[in-house]
């Protein structure tokens, strides 16, 4: 019976402490504000590049086979027969014809190789220009920026339309630092700092949630990465959704948790230099 009560006590401690550890995250591990359906951007450009490479390889193999068969036939049926059949023991008309055919075949092969090399360089030039991940993302953003209106030309029902001149990589890199900064402000109950990053309606919810915690928290962001999972814009408003992944740690409580948050941000494009504000959190 004593062991039974001990087990019950341990279970009670676990049930009480589990939500307390979860509440250390920014936002208390809850969802607030606006929400949108999200999905990573489709890697259509890379798929097209791979398909093009496969097509080029097949065409090259086919043409090489054709030229190889032609040249191989000439060599086997003409040159070898000439050397081993004594056809060059005196220059005859057939000897001249064989030499002419070989010269013609070599000329066509050389011409084909030069044309293939030039075509290959023309195809590879844009691929090299876009091989860098930053450049590829920027090119994708610029192409999507040409579509005005929400959801204009997305490959799925989740849009990825960016404002004109939007730098995806710079924004994602900066968002990781902002994530750490906001978590630090949440730990130290620095609500005035958090207010700079969020919309007024979301700030009211976060302020109420933070009041449920007593004193400073000790949650540390061990590592965090971010990815754009939705983007849309109109002449008046730009929207962006960022999915964060990583790991939290509270050394004081001995707790570690996964980061699986999505932030929904908006920017008023009718106002010059308007900031991006968090309008929703999905935990």
Q: Helix 133-145 vs helix 168-187: angle between axes, to the nearest 10 degrees?
A: 100
Highest-confidence range of 29-43, 61-75, 160-174, by mean pLDDT?
A: 160-174
Cα–chain center distance at 151: 19
Residues 128 and 159 in one domain: no
Range in 62-76, 83-97, 262-276 with the lowest mean pLDDT: 62-76
Task: Count up the domains in the chain and report the number.
Answer: 2
Residues 241 and 108 in one domain: no
Name the residue with higher pLDDT: 98 or 207.
Answer: 207
Asked whether residue 273 is domain-assigned, the answer is yes
Return the H-helix or E-strand segment holding 266: strand 262-268
Report pLDDT for 49. 46
Residues 157 and 277 in one domain: yes
Single out the residue in 142, 164, 188 at which a domain terminates: 142
Asked whether residue 250 is domain-assigned, the answer is yes
Residues 119 and 186 in one domain: no
Single out the residue in 89, 122, 142 at which a domain terminates: 142
Residue 91: which domain range?
Answer: 44-142
**Is 202's pLDDT higher than 60?**
yes
Rounded to the nearest integer, the mean pLDDT of the chain is 73
Report pLDDT for 88. 47
Residue 26's contacts (CB-CB under 8 Å, 6 or more residues apart) are 182, 183, 186, 261, 281
- DSSP letters of 136-200? HHHHHHHHHHT--STTSS-SSSS-B-PPTT--HHHHHHHHHHHHHHHHHHHHTT-HHHHTTTB-H
pLDDT band at 74 (very low <50, low <70, confident <90, very high): very low
**Is 132's pLDDT higher than 70?**
no
For residue 33, what is the domain's CATH number?
3.10.450.240
Return the H-helix or E-strand segment holding 115: helix 93-129
Asked whether residue 23 is domain-assigned, the answer is no
- CA-to-CA dists, residue 232 to 106, 143, 149, 225, 255, angstroms: 57, 13, 8, 21, 37
Report pLDDT for 141. 52
Asked whether residue 15 is domain-assigned, the answer is no
Question: Mean of the pLDDT values across residues 222-241?
Answer: 96
Asked whether residue 93 is domain-assigned, the answer is yes
**Is 83's pLDDT higher than 80?**
no
Residues 116 and 223 in one domain: no
Residues 70 and 99 in one domain: yes
Residues 161 and 260 in one domain: yes
Q: What is the pLDDT of residues 96-125, one digit of tens each?
A: 777 777 877 787 777 777 666 555 544 444
Asked whether residue 11 is domain-assigned, the answer is no
What CA–CA distance (Å, rounded) separates 266 from 81?
79
Report pLDDT for 170. 96
Asked whether residue 7 is domain-assigned, the answer is no
Residues 55 and 166 in one domain: no
Residues 108 and 166 in one domain: no
Residues 104 and 208 in one domain: no
Residues 260 and 166 in one domain: yes
Q: What predicted TM-score, i.e. pTM, was given to this entire model?
A: 0.56
**Is 222's pLDDT higher than 70?**
yes
Single out the residue in 116, 142, 168 at which a domain terminates: 142
Name the token pair of 66: 């054709």
Asked whether residue 13 is domain-assigned, the answer is no
Residues 87 and 220 in one domain: no
Report pLDDT for 59. 56
């Amino acid at each position: 019976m004593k062991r039974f009560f001990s087990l019950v006590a341990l279970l009670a401690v676990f049930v009480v402490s589990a939500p307390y550890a979860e509440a250390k995250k920014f936002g208390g591990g809850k969802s607030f504000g606006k929400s949108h359906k999200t999905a990573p951007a489709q890697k259509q450009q890379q798929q097209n590049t791979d398909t093009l490479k496969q097509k080029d390889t097949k065409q090259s193999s086919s043409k090489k086979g054709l030229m190889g068969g032609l040249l191989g036939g000439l060599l086997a049926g003409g040159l070898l027969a000439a050397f081993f059949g004594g056809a060059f023991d005196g220059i005859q008309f057939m000897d001249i014809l064989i030499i002419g055919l070989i010269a013609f075949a070599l000329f066509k092969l050389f011409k084909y190789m030069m044309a293939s090399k030039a075509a290959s360089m023309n195809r590879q030039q844009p691929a090299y220009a876009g091989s860098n991940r930053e450049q590829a993302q920027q090119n994708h953003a610029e192409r999507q920026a040409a579509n005005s209106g929400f959801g204009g030309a997305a490959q799925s029902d989740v849009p990825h339309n960016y404002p004109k001149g939007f730098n995806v990589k710079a924004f994602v890199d900066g968002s990781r630092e902002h994530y750490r900064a906001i978590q630090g402000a949440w730990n130290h109950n620095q609500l005035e700092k958090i207010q700079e990053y969020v919309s007024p309606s979301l700030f009211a919810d976060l302020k109420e949630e933070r009041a449920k915690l007593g004193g400073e928290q000790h949650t540390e962001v061990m590592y965090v990465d971010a990815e754009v999972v939705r983007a849309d814009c109109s002449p008046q408003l730009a929207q962006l959704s960022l999915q964060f992944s990583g790991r939290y740690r509270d050394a004081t409580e001995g707790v570690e948790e996964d980061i699986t948050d999505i932030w929904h941000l908006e920017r008023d494009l009718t106002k010059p230099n308007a900031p991006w504000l968090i309008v929703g959190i999905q935990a």
